[in-house]
Amino acid sequence: MKATVYVTIKQNVLDPQGSAVQGALHSMGFDEVGKVRIGKYLELDMNTTDRAAAEERLKAMCEKLLANTVIEDYRFELEG
State the minimum distance, in angstroms, from the CB of residue 13 to a second copy: 14
Chain residues 28-57 in contact with a second copy, contact rule CB under 8 A: 28, 30, 32-48, 54, 57
State the minimum distance, in angstroms, from the CB of residue 2 to a second copy: 9
Closest to 39 (Cα-Cα) out of 60, 27, 57, 21? 21
Distance, in Å, from the CA atom of 21 to the CA atom of 24, rounded to the nearest integer, reads 5
Distance, in Å, from the CA atom of 77 to the CA atom of 75, rounded to the nearest integer, reads 7
Cα distances (angstroms) measured from residue 63 to each of 9, 28, 45, 68:
14, 38, 18, 7
State the minimum distance, in angstroms, from the CB of residue 64 to a second copy: 7
Residue 14 interacts with a second copy (CB under 8 A): yes or no: no
Contact positions toward a second copy, by CB under 8 A?
A: 6-8, 18, 21, 24-25, 28, 30, 32-48, 54, 57, 60-61, 64-66
